[in-house]
Structure 1
Amino acid sequence: MKIATAAYPLDPLTDFTAYAEKQINWVREAAREGADLLVFPEYGRMELAALSGMEAAGDLEGSLHAAHAYTEEVDALMASLAEGYGLHILAASGPVFEEGAERPVNRAALFGPDGFLGEQDKQVMTRFEREKWDVVPGEPLEAIDTALGKIGILICYDAEFPLLGRELIEQGAEILLCPSCTDSLAGYSRVRIGAMARALEGQCVTVQSPTVGSAQWSPATDENVGIASVYGPPDLGFPATGIIAEGKLDTPGWTYAEIDPAAIARVRAEGAVFNHAHWLESHDRAAISRKARELP
């Protein structure tokens, strides 16, 4: 399969038609390159807040509600693009207020040629999300069955936690999508290192899609730093660096990578190491060590 991962800039768009045209142009470009799976970043939907005016976009609380207001329209748009071009799209995540809920979750939805495939909520909130923005964790992790194989989603900070990645791997995921939104090189690097570590541990492919560039009209996503990249285990059938493909720092556009799903099964069965299979052994050894510390 061919994966396209976006380094995506946030624009102060004036109406939904302009937003739709932007999505159409991005998807059309990737489709022309033969991509099968498109990955958009975390909080890419915050640019929707600008559709309600700069006052709403410039207010932390107001921007959550303004972006959420277009959830159904955006989902319908991305579903139609996936169907129309016959490909899979992880749409940009954004705030979603469930019916009756006081606080929003950060949710990303996956669409395929036949429509909606599944959605994933962020599990662990960053300090900004929990201390200033009051975005809350959502539904549990669940790998999604697709024609491309089982896909898991770790939204930004979630990619930094081994147990979250392992849960999706144990559910059968072979590709982990890691949409991100970080305001510094350090933040981007933390997600990058986490995504690469998850590829190593799970002997799988991980995909990072960041927001990039300045969006000073949005206090939530005003600075954005990142590189669109695809990672794999540095072992049999994959690059020795673990980097399958990567773009340039803070440069908008698609980064493409050709992936053979059979290579994942092969490295798990024939690789120089068996991180995927030996995870339980490492878990058991850690438990033995904890027990030993409790002995008098």
Structure 2
Amino acid sequence: MSRSLTIAAAQYPLDALGSFADYEAKLERWVAEAAGQGAELLVFPEYASMELVSLDGPEAGHDLQRSIDAVSKRLPEADRVHDRLARRFGVAIVAASAPERQADGETLNVARFFGPSGRVGRYAKLMMTPWERDPWKIAAGRELTVFDIGPARVGLVICYDIEFPLLSRALAEAGADVILAPSNTESEHGYWRVRTGAMARALENQVYTVHAPTVGPAPFCTAVENNCGAAGIFAPSDEGFPPGGVIALGELNKPQWVTAKVDLDLLKRVRETGGVQTYRHWGEQPGAGSLPRAKLVDLSVHKAEAAE
């Protein structure tokens, strides 16, 4: 029996929320829909958490540092919701990344990874875009992580990270079968940069890559006012896969889940006998020996039964 994993990538709209209960109900609807489609791994976009700023009143979203504080302070409550939903539906959830204030005053762009057993991992974005550097003043994370969710080992990068090949290569060498790239881009140019990066990383490393973007306008929050993208699940272009490497692709800017079941054993076969062996031949490139290291976090043990 072949190993497989059903993945759902969100094309997620940001809404002005009337209450935290509205946020919780929205997330539950989204998770229930993906789980109903058979998804085992759900991926929400970068900075989709910024919709939480609307709970601090109409002025908060138009002041950058105030909006960061407004979202950061609600993360423990948001984490409890994601943990409950992961347990209830028996799925792994990559929550929308968020600006997180640290005790030393530094701010990181952090995505949290919730396993169905109650274990939680986290990843802080490493490569910051020009606008994250200034005026956002978001600091870079310090380590790469591969998450073992049972059926697969999953690498996680965030948006701009996917445009830098060495990060994904380090995840692949640490055992990642799938590399996730949640994103937040305001234009089609930005969307295509992330999508092109995701497709290139699938080719280079002979892995699946998953792109999950925010979509639509969010006039209540200046930092993420415009959002453009289409979710996609990509593979190396080789025998057994679609010729263009596109497993599934959403409709541009339409709120929806993009879901696909991916064959993990096929990756192994392609690495060994495919028309090319880019994973195997990587080290033959001049200068290819210098890579960052990625740690492994186990989110798979004692998988919980649905709690409700």
TM-score clears 0.5:
yes
Cross-structure match for 1:38: 42
Judge conservation of contact 2:283–2:289 (CA < 8 Å) in 1: no
Report the secondary structure of 1:78's partner residue. helix
Cross-structure match for 1:291: none
Which amino acid counterpart does residue 90 of structure 2 have in structure 1? G
Which amino acid counterpart does residue 87 of structure 1 have in structure 2? V
The answer to whether the aligner puts 1:154 opposite 2:139 as a matched pair is: no
Judge conservation of contact 2:282–2:288 (CA < 8 Å) in 1: no
Cross-structure match for 2:201: 198
Cross-structure match for 1:93: 97
Aligned ranges 1:194-273 → 2 under 5 Å: 194-273=197-276
The answer to whether the aligner puts 1:130 opposite 2:133 as a matched pair is: yes
The alpha carbon displacement at 1:204 in A equals 0.2
Which amino acid counterpart does residue 129 of structure 1 have in structure 2? E
CA offsets 1:71-107 (integer angstroms, 9 cap, x no match): 11111111110110011111110011122x2231001
Cross-structure match for 1:292: none
CA offsets 1:29-70 (integer angstroms, 9 cap, x no match): 111111111110000100011111121122111000100011
Cross-structure match for 1:3: 7
TM-score normalised to structure 2 length: 0.90
Report the secondary structure of 1:147's partner residue. coil
Which amino acid counterpart does residue 151 of structure 1 have in structure 2? V
The alpha carbon displacement at 1:14 in A equals 2.0
The answer to whether the aligner puts 1:139 opposite 2:142 as a matched pair is: yes
Report the secondary structure of 1:224's partner residue. coil
The alpha carbon displacement at 1:27 in A equals 0.3
Over 6 Å off, 4+ runs: none
Report the secondary structure of 2:153's partner residue. strand
Cross-structure match for 1:172: 175
TM-score normalised to structure 1 length: 0.94
The alpha carbon displacement at 1:285 in A equals 7.9
The alpha carbon displacement at 1:284 in A equals 4.8
The answer to whether the aligner puts 1:55 opposite 2:59 as a matched pair is: yes
Unaligned runs of at least 5 residues, structure 2? 291-308
1:28 to 1, 26, 32: 32
Judge conservation of contact 1:87–1:112 (CA < 8 Å) in 2: yes
Judge conservation of contact 1:8–1:212 (CA < 8 Å) in 2: yes
Report the secondary structure of 1:259's partner residue. strand
Question: Counterparts of 1:234 and 1:142 in 2: how far apart (Å)?
Answer: 26
Q: How many residues align?
A: 286
Cross-structure match for 1:64: 68
Which amino acid counterpart does residue 253 of structure 1 have in structure 2? Q
Q: Relative contact order (alpha carbons < 8 A, sep ≥ 6): 1 or 2 greater?
A: 2
